[in-house]
Structures are given as C-alpha cells and as structure tokens.
C-alpha cells in the first residue's frame, strides 16, 4: 500500500506535532501552510523552518483573500476587533471568542483535500499506480479538549465534512479511494499533545502559538494560556521560552 498524505502545518504546536506524526504514517507527504491574512504571520516562517527540519515537501499558499470574507475575527481584522486576553480558563472552554475565524477549518479542509486529490489522481492516471494499492490521508490538528470552543474543531464536524468531500471527489467516485481526515490529537489534552510531540521528537522549540503579532509570545491570549498550562501540567519548561517561566495567570 502506498500512502499519500497532506498535512496542514500552521507552524503552531499542535499542527507541528501532527505533521511529525504524519511523517511516520505515509510514504509521500506534503505539508501546506495557508497565508490567510492572520495577525500572527510569524507562524508562517516557523512552518518553513519546521518543514525543513522534518525534511518534507512544503508549500505556503497565499489565500489572503479569505481575510476579506472571514472578516468577523480579531485574527483577520485586528483593527476592528481586539483579541481577548487573560480570560479565565472556565470562560475559554465555554464561549466561542472573537478569535474564531468564520469557517476557517471548512476552507482549509477543502483546499487541503483538493491538493491531496490532485496528487493521488496524478499517481493513478499518469504514473499508473494501481488505485487499489493507494491510501489518501489529510492530516489536521483540531482539538476538542483544551481549546477555545471553536465549533469546527469538534469530531462531529469532521465526520460530517469528510462525507461531503468524498461525495464530491473523482478519487472516491471513480477509483473508490476515499480521502481520510486524520485528527490524532482531537481528543487529547494539551499536556497529552506535548507528550506525543516529545515521543515523536517533534521540533516543538520552533513552534509559535501566540495570536499576537510581536516577536515574543504575549503569554495572555487563549492560545498562550492553554499552551502554558500543558507544559505546567507536565512540570517541564516550554523550550520556546528560554529561561523565562510560563505565565498562566
């Protein structure tokens, strides 16, 4: 069986660990990073460095037009909306914040699946690889445990979405090769995700999680708070912070 895969690599902690996981799961892996007008553009450079360390094919795709469509978010429209900071953890888990980018994962999933389908169709139709010996996997890093309550990070969203993707694909319809969405950390706590990353020797030290646009993490946005809590629960230092301590207040 020849495994083809696409991993959506943002440059953050979770997607880096999932991409590290993907390198062991398929034979032919491509990583994709989307530039969608996000405030935390620093993560794109991180993704480039991570892909280089992992020695995988990597493309940065400019979809900055999404910023004009999914504008109701502090991550795409920071002049209009302020990213919340220092939210209590109970509030983080209960309310969908303004950092939610409308239908971002739906957009990313569709584009990632299109890239994957192109790779596999080329393998079948031009390289003459037997379709019955091929698997097609799209690796994504949603999490429904330690997260900000985004509705498009839930298992039920992905279960529904993959049916739609396969119903609309030539790969599934003509060649009976279904695209799989692989979400290995969707039911893990942040501490468990970090443990997996350490087991995989994932380049965690190169990752960027902060929603801010600065050169150092703000330590106060939801993403920073959840990341800090994960390292704190394990009793280990976040390697991106050097000699400083995690601020989880």
pLDDT at 222 over 90: yes
pLDDT at 66 over 80: yes
With cut-offs at 50, 70 and 90, classify the pLDDT of residue 243: very low
pLDDT at 230: 97
pLDDT at 6: 99
pLDDT at 242: 65
> How far is CA 74 from each of CA 83, 94, 107, 201, 213, rounded to the nearest angstrom?
5, 18, 18, 33, 12
- Segment 73-103, tens digit of pLDDT: 999 999 999 999 999 877 887 789 999 999 9
pLDDT at 249 over 80: no
pLDDT at 67: 97
- Segment 128-171, tens digit of pLDDT: 999 999 999 999 999 999 888 899 999 999 999 999 999 999 99
- What integer is the mean pLDDT of 194-205? 98
Q: Which CATH architecture has domain 2-241?
A: 3-Layer(aba) Sandwich (3.40)
User: Which phi and psi (to 5°) does residue 198 adopt?
Assistant: -65, -40
> How far is CA 211 from each of CA 115, 152, 201, rounded to the nearest angstrom?
27, 18, 25
- Segment 101-118, tens digit of pLDDT: 999 999 999 999 999 999
**Structure tokens, 223:** 């993403």
**Range with lowest mean pLDDT among 14-23, 62-71, 240-249:** 240-249
pLDDT at 247: 41
**Structure tokens, 85:** 């900071």
């Amino acid at each position: 069986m020849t495994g083809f895969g696409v991993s959506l690599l943002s440059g953050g902690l979770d997607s880096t660990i999932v991409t590290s996981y993907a390198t062991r799961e398929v034979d032919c892996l491509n990583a994709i990073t989307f530039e969608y007008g996000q405030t935390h553009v620093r993560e794109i450079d991180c993704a480039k460095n991570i892909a280089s360390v992992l020695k995988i094919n990597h493309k940065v795709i400019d979809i900055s037009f999404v910023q004009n469509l999914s504008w109701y978010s502090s991550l795409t429209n920071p002049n209009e909306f302020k990213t919340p900071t220092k939210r209590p953890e109970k509030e983080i888990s209960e309310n969908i914040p303004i950092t939610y980018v409308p239908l971002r994962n739906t957009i990313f999933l569709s584009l990632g699946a299109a890239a994957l389908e192109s790779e596999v169709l080329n393998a079948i139709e031009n390289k003459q690889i037997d379709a019955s010996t091929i698997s097609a996997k799209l690796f994504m890093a949603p999490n429904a445990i330690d997260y900000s309550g985004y509705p498009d990070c839930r298992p039920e969203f992905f279960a529904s979405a993959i049916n739609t993707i396969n119903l609309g694909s030539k790969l599934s319809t003509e060649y009976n090769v279904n695209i799989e969405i692989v979400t290995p950390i969707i039911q893990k706590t942040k501490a468990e995700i970090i443990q997996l990353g350490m087991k995989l020797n994932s380049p965690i030290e190169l990752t960027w999680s902060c929603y801010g646009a600065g050169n150092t993490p703000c330590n106060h946005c939801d993403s920073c708070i959840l990341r800090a809590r994960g390292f704190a629960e394990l009793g280990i230092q976040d390697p991106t912070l050097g000699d400083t301590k995690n601020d989880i207040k």
